[in-house]
Amino acid sequence: MAMPRPTVAQFAYGSCTVVFSTLALLLLSRTSSGVGIALVVVAALALGLMVAMTMPQAKSRPAPVLRSLPQEPVRATLPSPATLSARKAVRERAVS
């Protein structure tokens, strides 16, 4: 079973969540230690992944069903040569 690929919207929402949540957590926690910053970054990445994965997936369209039509003979109606010459004669008389 193939894993579905993330959409552009999932990338965008996940990335924005990571960036903004990292900034917000760093500003709110006022941490300056390396361990605190690492925890904030890991928490922001987890939050961004959660947001990206909980977005609804794009609905895939089902493949169109090809239905075969009943085979009927093609009936073409062609004018007979007699009617063509009669029409041409009528047009020529009307023009002159």
Does residue 18 fall inside a structural domain?
A: yes
Residue spans of the chain under pLDDT 50:
none
Give me the pLDDT at residue 88, please: 64
Does residue 32 fall inside a structural domain?
A: yes
Give me the pLDDT at residue 70, please: 66
Helices (H), the chain: 8-29, 34-54, 81-95
Give me the pLDDT at residue 50, please: 87
Find the domain containing 44 and state its range: 1-53
Exposure of 37 in the CB half-sphere (CA atoms within 13 A): 3
Rg (CA), the chain: 36
Does residue 62 fall inside a structural domain?
A: no
Distance between CA atoms of residues 91 and 96, nearest Å: 9
Measured at the alpha carbon of residue 59, what is the angle toward residues 56 and 60, in degrees to the nearest 5? 145
Give me the pLDDT at residue 29, please: 87
